[in-house]
Amino acid sequence: MAARKPKKLDSEGLWSYALRSLAGRAHSISELREKLRRRAEKPEDTAAILARLRERGYLDDRRFAEGFASSRLGNQGFGKHRVLRDLRQRRVAPAVAERAVREAYQDTDEVELIESFLARKYRSVPLAEFLSEPKNLASAYRRLRVAGFSSSPVIRVLKRYAAEAESLETLDTEDDPGERRDAE
């Protein structure tokens, strides 16, 4: 069965579509622009709808980025690098994304965040015993790096559980390996 092509919308239909989209979840300006562009009968309607949404306060990348960063920290406990990468994927301007992440994480201890992440992700196994196996240690290291945590604090935390943690430094020397794939 062939995929149906979405119906093109006039200005009023596009306005309703934009409001429904924003009611479902928050969007960055660029994300919503792309969504509207695909559905607009006339391309010029997209800019007018976005301007109307911004005027009414329904669309604001700064507010979106701040809420997104706070949510990812509070609900999922991800590291700064992951949240910054996710904001970039949502097409938030780099300066806006960096500021939002910096503000959201300003009072956060990364080591405590890593320990909390480990406790949550490995709650069903005795962590010290699990991490004593080199393959599990390497897997946990990669998982933490993809979750957005910096290498140095990750290794510092993993050293508490396994003497072999120092060998992890050879696995990854990049700042953000999560750009390759998302965390579980």
Q: What pTM did the predictor assign? A: 0.80
Q: What was the pLDDT predicted at 159?
A: 86
Decide if pLDDT at 94 tops 90.
Answer: yes
Decide if pLDDT at 165 tops 90.
Answer: no
Q: What was the pLDDT predicted at 177?
A: 46
Decide if pLDDT at 82 tops 90.
Answer: yes
The Cα 179–Cα 14 span in angstroms is 33
Among the residues of 42-150, which ranges form H helices? 43-55, 61-71, 80-89, 94-105, 110-121, 127-131, 134-146
Distance of CA 161 to the CA centre of its chain: 28
Cβ-contact 97, 87 below 8 angstroms:
yes
Decide if pLDDT at 60 tops 60.
Answer: yes
The Cα 72–Cα 167 span in angstroms is 30
Strand partners, 40: 9
